[in-house]
A and B are shown apart, each in its own frame.
Chain A
Amino acid sequence: MEVSIPSLIAAILVMAAPLVLAALGETLTEKAGVVNLSLDGTILLGAMSGFLVASESQSALLGFIAAASTGASVGAVLAVIGVRLGQSQVAVGFALTFLCRDLAYFLGNPYARQQGPQLETLPIPILSNIPFLGEAFFSHSIVVYVSLLAIPGCYYFLYHTRQGLILRSVGENPDGCWARGINPLKVQVLYTVIGGGMVGLAGAAFSLAVKPGWGHPQGCEGIGWIALALVIFGGWNPVRVAAGAYFFGMLQLLGIYFQDYFTTIPPQIFQVAPFPLMIFALILINLGHKSRNKKLTGWIELFSGRPPKWLGKTYKPA
């Protein structure tokens, strides 16, 4: 296999595109103070519904819409039970993870290993002709462009719009918002649904573009947990969260390349390895916080932030 740097960058961008979408969606939800643990299941359900609708309608666009609505509905269930009814968000999230996963396999079974529509690459005119950059950044399917645009989009929304500010303040101190005439519960429900929608999109990004097709397993299993870890790894900052996603994409890609180089080591090891590596990177960062080494912590600060103060707690207005 010929490896050039632009092709490597392009491959990482593709690998990480769904992960970026899912992690950004979860960032929005968590910034509002709600933890949606159902990502791993939601992505699968989104992938299934996206593939199913797209193959029936022969329209990838409808597939993406279906996936987003699926994810939003899962978010809505969490919002009702975990935010409105005040049950443990962690418990609801777990139950949803497994329910969605099995629902996806069950409903998607007739479509397993079938040929379905698949997004074509849309090289951007002119830009894609730029040497090096063109191949790396401008010769992709729309999913990759969307994921790339979502990063500044999310950042801009969170830090430069009125709604973004309200979203962040609800996650910090719902009482303060209530005193300012904002209903924190409404805001939490809204962003649980929107975040869920983005996670659903990530599913369709897998089944219609990155790992086209549907099956049991689909190939995107486990990614949801990584997305959840990334939100912490990135300190709830969309740009750093996305950076983490590309780091994970790179790890996965390295795994694939190493399989060819180190034929003595079973390939399964390389497929599994990025997952513990990722989680342990996170754990190391967490531990580094506690260490007294100034230089180390200074460097680590760069990669972390504190969680929204109200994360995972139930808000009950007085």
Chain B
Amino acid sequence: MSIILQMRRIVMISVLALSAVSLLLMLLGISPLTIGITLAKGSIFSWLKFNHVLSVWIPLLLCSCGLLFTFRAGLWNIGVEGQVICGAIGATLVLRLDNTGLPPAALLSLALFSSFLAGGLWGASAGLLKTRGGVNEIFGGLGLNFVAQGAVLWLILGPWKRAGMASMSGTDLFPRELWMWVPQGWRVAPAAIVLVIIIFLLTSLILNASQFGLKIKAAGFNPQASRLFGIRPNLICFMAMIIGGGLAGLAGGVQVSCVYHRLIPSISSGYGYLALLVVMLAGYKVAPVPIICLLFACLAAGSIQLPITLQVDSSLSGVIQGALVLSGLLVYGLQQGKRRGH
């Protein structure tokens, strides 16, 4: 597709979504401009605020990278939330170990690795349910989300409860030396930023420039014909689920080791579902994903200011995100319909 057509599509989607949301706001007597300024102020006008944006961007981009793999394989991986939670549990498991004698850096790396494994395992279970049990991956993933949610509650309120009194606020904080290093005036660990950029580049390399990525694409586009090329579509789908789950798990690991320094019940913060929207808006393509993640992160971070300064609910950011995705689908549909008509 030509760049002009791409640009036109982007413009159409944004105009459609933004005018719909603006109309809604004006009907409610709220000035869209004020909202826009507040959102910008709350996200990119100060280093501290931008740090907050980055702290959303990191896990969101990780989950989106994972989803790129599963979407390429033609799968609806709805279990991202559960995979994030499992990753968080996997990391906590390592960080709670006593007397390992390992240096903190090694333990932290081990924790991240363990989060990848745990998330991958969760993704693999949904994959197994689909390939072996014939359970639609949407409901398998959803069921596993609920199970993971139950598991994290049980851990926090049971075996891993705070010293003294179990609390919904999470487990005890990890010892200070197991906190990922954060420079003065920063809110995010530079290590996490480096990690997520590497992961994104790897994702982009594997999906767009590797034999394996091509096989995933082939198996997703036309499983039947892919067999003529010696590809085993079921195996490829299974592997895509493991990678997708693993990257989501890594997001959970980063949340635990770099942000919260403990396990909390809402560790996934809905990033799993938000990532679905990101990748759908990106048209399942790799390149736009980090930009859309950044946009969504700005909206999410900026909206925190809304109730304080304008007495407007922060879920407005979700409305804008949803409107963008829906307009995207509408525009794709209209353009396809047009092409079919000619």
Contacts and interface: CB of A to CB of B under 8 A. Distances in A.
Q: Tell me if chains A and B make direct contact, with any CB pair below 8 A.
A: yes
Interface of A: 37, 77, 80-81, 85-87, 90-92, 94-96, 98-103, 105-107, 109, 216, 225, 228-229, 232, 266, 268-269, 272-273, 275-276, 279-280, 282-283, 286-287, 289-290
Nearest to A90: B76
A106 B310 CA distance: 13
7 contacts: A86-B333, A90-B76, A95-B277, A99-B326, A102-B319, A216-B315, A269-B153
State the 10 A-B residue pairs at the shortest beta-carbon distance, nearest first. Answer: A99-B322, A102-B318, A85-B333, A279-B143, A109-B313, A266-B157, A105-B315, A276-B146, A275-B146, A102-B315
A87 B146 contact: no
Contacts of B334: 85
Interface in B307-331: 312-313, 315-319, 321-323, 325-326, 329-330
B133 A266 contact: no
A89 to B, nearest CB: 10
Given A91-B280, A94-B280, A272-B149, A86 B76 contact: no
B199 interface: no
Interface string B105-139: 00000000000000000000000010001111011
Interface of B: 28, 76, 129, 133-136, 138-140, 142-143, 146-147, 149-150, 153-154, 157-158, 166, 168, 265, 273-274, 276-277, 280, 312-313, 315-319, 321-323, 325-326, 329-330, 332-334, 336-337
Given A91-B329, A229-B142, A282-B139, A103 B319 contact: yes
B342 to A, nearest CB: 15
Contact of B147 (A91, A105, A276): A276
Instruction: Say whether chain B's binding surface is mostly helix, strand, loop, or mixed.
Output: helix
A81 B142 contact: no
Nearest to A103: B319
B146 A229 contact: no
A81 to B, nearest CB: 5
Contacts of A102: 315-319, 321-322
Given A266-B157, A268-B168, A98 B133 contact: no
A24 B43 CA distance: 44
A92 B150 contact: no
B146 A272 contact: yes
B266 to A, nearest CB: 12
Contacts of B140: 283
B157 A283 contact: no
A75 to B, nearest CB: 14
Contacts of B134: 286-287, 289-290
Nearest to B325: A95
Nearest to B327: A95
Nearest to A109: B313
A16 B333 CA distance: 37
Contacts of B142: 225, 229, 279
Give the one of A95, A272, A289 with max B CB within 10 A.
Answer: A95
Contacts of A86: 333, 336-337
B139 A106 contact: no
A107 B30 CA distance: 12
Given A269-B150, A272-B153, 4 more contacts: A90-B76, A91-B329, A268-B157, A269-B154
Give the one of B150, B316, B334 with max A CB within 10 A.
Answer: B150
A229 B333 CA distance: 28
A233 to B, nearest CB: 10
A229 B139 contact: yes
B157 A85 contact: no
B135 A283 contact: yes
Nearest to A98: B322
Contacts of B166: 266
Contact of A106 (B153, B168, B280, B319): B319
A103 B326 CA distance: 13
A90 B326 contact: no
Give the one of B136, B146, B280 with max A CB within 10 A.
Answer: B146
A45 to B, nearest CB: 11
A85 B338 CA distance: 10
A95 B319 contact: no
Contacts of A273: 150
Given A266-B153, A272-B150, A92 B139 contact: no
A109 B316 CA distance: 10
A101 B273 CA distance: 12
A237 to B, nearest CB: 18
Contacts of B316: 102, 106
A268 to B, nearest CB: 5
A37 B147 CA distance: 21
B326 A95 contact: yes
Contacts of A287: 133-135
Given A266-B153, A268-B168, A290-B133, A95 B315 contact: no
